Structure 1
């Protein structure tokens, strides 16, 4: 049950080439689901994907560019979150030494930030200072190889980074070489050590994009951008296994148009999984069988906009916010807890090129 005494804030990352000003912040009314804009960050270029430290004190955003400060590569920005108002204040910006960084995650102890550099096929690891600002790069790992898709897979394309639930390993999702690589994190030096036993090669041409662990930490779900599937994978840190147990399509039966997948998220109670289709412009809704992690398709919901690049579920699990990048809207849905289905609410939010949404409670 939601805590009505808490203050809920949403942060939205955007592409700024069409006139957006940066990262937008909103008050979230947890009774109605309404978002009310309260601010925008100092101007930074293309703060597309965001992540928030586990203590809710800092926000990190990749600046998805090809050049930063006259050198090849994008950047990552660190912000401090005001614990009373939710306002974010820029601390510093550091180059990632990799082009088009597209995802970022933070260790639970706030000591390291990990960045996926899409065009370079690399991961940059940053040390974090005590005040939350970014320190120096401790290591960069580079992937090699290619995939069968002659347009999208001519080289590695690291698309997502996330830590395993116990944070022993960094999972690196590479769309270009159809792999999820596991790296042990050296906490003393900030280096990454490959674990070939856990690392997974999937069906050629699938193009894995994002992944998420369920609340139990025993099952991971990987969405493939090119083959439009969700892979269900059982994870066991003790046995060092990461095994696929299911492939399931994100598309409606009989769909024949062009489509690429976007995001994947699990409801806070672990009962439902959602995946976005860009082309069909829909969300696939799956029920999660808690014991096995197997998915059962519940149905699809229209996103009422074009190119649902990402979406987010508020911390209470009551509302979903779909970011339609090409139609410049955020569409709000109420989640029906008994079925996982979505009911669209009135009043789209107009925002230029929205990409990613994250929430905190204060």
Structure 2
């Protein structure tokens, strides 16, 4: 695998950390990962791109959004100890892209401020070409300060590869689209309405591909949905809290991770600054909060499972660190194992 190395004599893979340069972040950092202890050791970085807040890896090429008003994506060569920019950033024809994903030879971005999803073809060397299409969302929600218009927050392919799913915080809905791999055109197939005012932010699929879990930002809840990959239909089944009953003060969930065996899922909650542990029924149709633990810092913007499935990594934006946790395989409860400094950290990916 590209980017492998050793840490204190143990085999390691690579991690990449995105951050907000406008808040003192160092751009994109590369780090070796000790697969035995979960420890990260930074090997280099690049601040060539403004606010690379979310990342996606495709072999030797790392893609990053530039979460700025103009909105762009950038590509980095990651075969060396430090990410190396591959040309100038490419505009996404949308404002403040917060998330990106790879599908069918294309790079897709969710553009928060403009409420749209952009599709960019990838060149043979893995770098993005100019946008092939932009699908604009429409709608509002009842929380005037946050839902005056659409705010696409995440885009990703479903496990079957048939569909592209986009989560919109502003419209309280999830859109299911079809991507034409030949033209890069994204076509709306259907839209699933969630409870008004919940503000859906991110979604993760059960490993069996039969259910999906939508993490809501404006209310600290998780919406469990049935997913029909043949028909391309998402059906809400119910909600469950991700903070304990009686929790006071604002809580803004940010990211959700599902265990590879589907027994647990974890959610990062900002404000409350915790990691929620939920147990999932064997069929995937229900989830229940069983514990919360401190996130190891302040304002956990992102949560990621490491490559072995034994460690969780929280990118704590406001305390400026990435903290890792050893996961108990029986209970799913994470225990803090270490941390590194990473100013304005916003995302961690592995490869």
Q: Return the TM-score normalized by structure 1.
A: 0.91
1:348 match: 339
Q: CA RMSD in A?
A: 1.6
* Separation in 2, partners of 1:117, 1:195: 19
Question: Is 1:359 paired with 2:350?
Answer: yes
How many Å apart are 1:42 and its aligned residue? Answer: 4.9
Structure 2 unaligned residues grouped into runs of 5+: 1-5
Partner of 1:20: 25
Structure 1 segments, 4+ long, off by >4 Å, are none
Deviations 1:174-232 (A, max 9, x none): 10011101111111111011112xx2011111100000112111111110100111111
From 151, 167, 170, the counterpart of 1:157: 151
Conservation of the 8 A alpha-carbon contact between 2:92 and 2:130: no
DSSP-derived class of the 1:31 partner:
coil
1:277-356 mapped onto 2 (5 Å cutoff): 277-345=269-337, 347-356=338-347
The partner residue of 2:62 within 53, 59, 62 is: 59
Residues 6 and 350 (structure 1), Cα distance of their counterparts in 2 relative to 1, 3 Å cut:
closer
User: 1:47-126 alignment to 2 at 5 Å?
Assistant: 47-53=52-58, 56-66=59-69, 73-82=70-79, 85=80, 87-92=82-87, 93-107=89-103, 109=104, 111-126=105-120
Q: Distance in 2 between matches of 1:265 and 1:86?
A: 28
Aligned residues: 342
1:348 aligned counterpart, secondary structure:
strand
Query: Which residue of structure 2 aligns with residue 69 of structure 1?
Result: none
Q: Does 1:254 align with 2:251?
A: no
Q: CA deviation at 1:149?
A: 0.5
1:266 to 258, 265, 284: 258
Name the residue aligned to 2:215. 223
State the 1:6 CA deviation. Answer: 5.2
Quickly say closer, same or farther: Cα 1:342–1:292, change in 2 above 3 A: closer
Are the aligned partners of 1:48 and 1:62 in contact in 2 as well (CA < 8 Å)?
Answer: yes
The answer as to whether partners of 1:42 and 1:90 remain within 8 angstroms in 2 is no
- Structure 1: 5+ residue stretches without partners: 67-72
1:268 and 1:315 in contact (8 A); partners too: no
SS at match of 2:54: strand
- Paired with 1:175 and 1:81, the residues of 2 have a C-alpha distance of 32
Per the alignment, residue 131 of structure 2 pairs with: 137
Match of 2:3 in 1: none
Which of 28, 31, 36 does residue 36 from structure 2 map onto? 31
> In structure 2, what is the Cα distance between the partners aligned to 1:87 and 1:271?
36
Counterparts of 1:191-202 in structure 2 under 5 Å?
191-196=185-190, 199-202=191-194
